[in-house]
Chain A
Amino acid sequence: MAYEVNGITVEHDEEGYLSDLTQWNEDVAAILANDEGIDMTDEHWEVVNFLREYYDEYQIAPAIRVLVKALKKTMGKEKGSNKYLYTLFPYGPAKQACKIAGLPKPTGCI
């Protein structure tokens, strides 16, 4: 299974997560977001970029409560909440934001 992005084949698994996260770029993210029915705003990108930085440092996609805690610390109480994240990613921040960020499904995401 694969996406075609600007003539490049980008492999993904049966749930749509990228097989090789080095193939990620903003065009790939736009296609992934479109599949999820999400119109990417600056606020969406803020979360997606945060997830990519987290993965770069720790080599894992954070669980939702870890993401909330970390966002609360760096971006304040309003953005560090389940409610805010679900407003941006209605079908689950872990599932949708991680997918758009090109990360594997978070460990412990059932």
Chain B
Amino acid sequence: MSEGMEEGGSIKKFMYMNRKAPYGTIYALEALEVVLIGAAFDQDVSLAFLDDGVFQLTKDQDTKGIGMKNFSPAFKALGDYDVTKLYVEKESLEERGLTADDLMDLVYEDEDDDWAEKPSIRLVSRDELKAVLADQDVIMSF
């Protein structure tokens, strides 16, 4: 049990795991919608991007040629929804020929720190992500 639960009896640690690439299937877009809806409930929300999920965060996505909506700009709005912890697994990036420079620059503005811009993406190793997962109350996998 986390401390938060003992205190108010309501704040839980929610983790949304993203393991699918965007566009090829509907999972990535659906997960994002669930995150945006869930953000209304004032929980402690984290997102994890591992396996092909890291492809959701690549910069310069341009979907004009395939006639689908480019939903990657919505990740930039997550900070407005107080979703500020995006864990990205290093090994998943490396296996796919990507580095952190290939990802969008995602930031949030810290209201308690004079709206200072802070990075939302936290690069973690597989072991570190394992520890983050072990610390969650609820995990939803997409």
**Which of A60, A69, A73 has most B Cβ within 10 Å?**
A60
Check A58/B73 contact, CB under 8 A, given A63-B81, A70-B80: yes
- In the assembled complex, which residues on chain A have CB atoms less than 8 Å from the CB atom of B69? 59
Q: Does A62 contact B (CB under 8 A)?
A: yes
Known: A57-B73, A59-B71. A69 touches B80 (CB 8 A): yes
Known pairs A60-B36, A107-B37, A108-B39; A66 contacts B80 (CB<8 A): yes
Residues of B within 8 A of A73 (CB): 109, 115
- Decide: A65 and B77 in contact? CB cutoff 8 A: no
| Chain B window 79-123, contacts with chain A (Cβ cutoff 8 Å), 1 for yes, 0 for no | 011000000000000000000000000000101000100000000
The 8 A CB mask of A41-71 against B (1 = contact, 0 = none) is: 0000000000000000111101101100110
Interfacial chain B residues near A69, Cβ < 8 Å: 80, 111
B70 CB–A CB distance under 8 Å: yes
Interface residues on B, range: 10 to 19
Number of A-B contacts (CB under 8 A): 36
* Whole-angstrom distance between the Cβ of B118 and the nearest chain A Cβ: 16
* Complex contact A60–B40 (CB within 8 A): no
Q: Output the nearest chain B residue to A67 by Cβ-Cβ distance.
A: B80
Number of interface residues of A (CB under 8 A): 13
What are the residues of chain A within 8 A of B37 when measuring CB–CB? 107-108
List the B residue with the shortest CB-CB distance to A72. B111
Question: In the bound complex, what is the Cα–Cα distance between A63 and B69 (angstroms)?
Answer: 20
Check B36 against A107 for contact (C-beta < 8 Å).
Answer: yes
Contact call A58/B115, Cβ cutoff below 8 A: no
A70 to B37, CA, bound (A): 18
Least distance between A63 CB and chain B CB atoms (Å)? 6
Q: Flag if B71 contacts A63 (CB, 8 Å).
A: no
Q: Shortest distance in angstroms between A71's beta carbon and chain B's nearest beta carbon?
A: 11
Closest Cβ–Cβ distance, residue A55 to chain B (whole Å):
10
A-side residues, CB < 8 A to B, are: 57-60, 62-63, 65-66, 69-70, 73, 107-108
Q: Which 6 A-B pairs have the closest CB atoms?
A: A108-B37, A58-B77, A107-B36, A66-B80, A59-B73, A60-B74
Interface set of B (CB-CB < 8 Å, partner A): 33, 36-37, 39-40, 69-71, 73-74, 76-77, 80-81, 109, 111, 115
